[in-house]
Amino acid sequence: MRRSDGSNERAWRRFPHDPVYLLKPPSPNVLLITRNSSLVPLVAATGCTRVQKVLLMKTVSAVDVAKGYLEEKIVKGVIFPGQQIKEEDISRQLNISRPPIREAFKILEGEGLVYRRPNRGVFVSQIKEKDVWEVYTLLESLCELALRLAFDLISEKETRKLERIVSEMDSCVQRHSRKVIARYQDLNSRFHCFFAEIADHQRLRIMLFNLTTQIRRLSYQAFLDKDHMRRSNLEHENILEAIRKGDREKALKLTRLHVEKVSRKHKAIAAQST
């Protein structure tokens, strides 16, 4: 979306932790914006007939916008494996120039979502069973390593954060739809990366994040099955319960089994699509 100053190299996105409200008073051509603390008195003072909760916006680069747009289309299967992505199409759809799109292509190529054919262009990559095997042989070891490094450092504060993550994932399960799957994926990644954060191992956190990004298309398809999403989060709850009880070996074993189960699910999906 263009800014009011006409710039087409910056865009707006939601910043989910700072809600504001749009109020429409009876007076024409007037729009008020307020935060929660002043909502009630302002509504009473102005006689507003319409109140809409929105999210505060912040600026991000055009590269981020293009990357996010393409990533969502690829993950949800709107742009399918083998399909060419043309710069001019994305430029027109997002109303941004081509250089940021080229930069977005480079990032997505690094994440394994697209690939280049010399003199042909950029295409959506296909995830094969071997790709899944490669990713999950790493994920199994790295998820277990992250928890092992973090276990003795997990305080009550960190436990409460994990509980909130699992609780929000449970809410996603209850509200299961295509719209909430992306949020569940983010929380799922957050759960496993959080142990690397506790251990203060940034390279490990980045590796975990990058690997989960590479198979995000498969996890989206897998989570279309509500029962799979429910079982997935039940496994998170069991891992968390072992952490609460201080049972290191059980938590590690449950993590390993959890990753193995997800790996089998994703291999099956990859096999069906090839």
What is the predicted pLDDT for the residue at 76?
A: 86
What is the predicted pLDDT for the residue at 18?
A: 41
- Distances from the Cα of 79 to the Cα of 65, 82, 86, 218, angstroms: 17, 9, 11, 14
In CATH terms, the fold of domain 62-124 is Arc Repressor Mutant, subunit A (1.10.10)
What is the predicted pLDDT for the residue at 174?
A: 96
CB of 268 closer than 8 Å to CB of 215? no
What is the predicted pLDDT for the residue at 156?
A: 95
Indicate the CATH number for domain 129-273.
Answer: 1.20.120.530
Separation between Cα atoms, residue 84 and residue 99, nearest integer Å:
18
pLDDT tens by residue, the chain, 274 residues: 333 333 343 333 333 334 444 444 444 444 444 444 444 444 444 444 444 444 444 446 889 889 989 998 998 889 988 999 999 999 999 988 999 999 999 999 988 889 999 889 999 998 889 999 999 999 999 999 999 999 999 999 999 999 999 999 999 999 999 889 999 999 999 999 999 999 999 999 999 998 998 899 999 999 999 999 999 999 999 999 999 999 999 999 999 999 999 999 999 999 987 6
- Distances from the Cα of 165 to the Cα of 31, 189, 213, 216, angstroms: 36, 10, 19, 19
What is the predicted pLDDT for the residue at 40?
A: 45
- Write down the domain spans for the chain: 11-60, 62-124, 129-273
What is the predicted pLDDT for the residue at 179?
A: 87
Give Cα 119 distance to the centre of its chain.
32
Q: Model-level pTM greater than 0.75?
A: no
Q: CATH topology of 62-124 equal to that of 129-273?
A: no
| Nearest Cα to Cα of residue 145 among 186, 203, 232 | 203
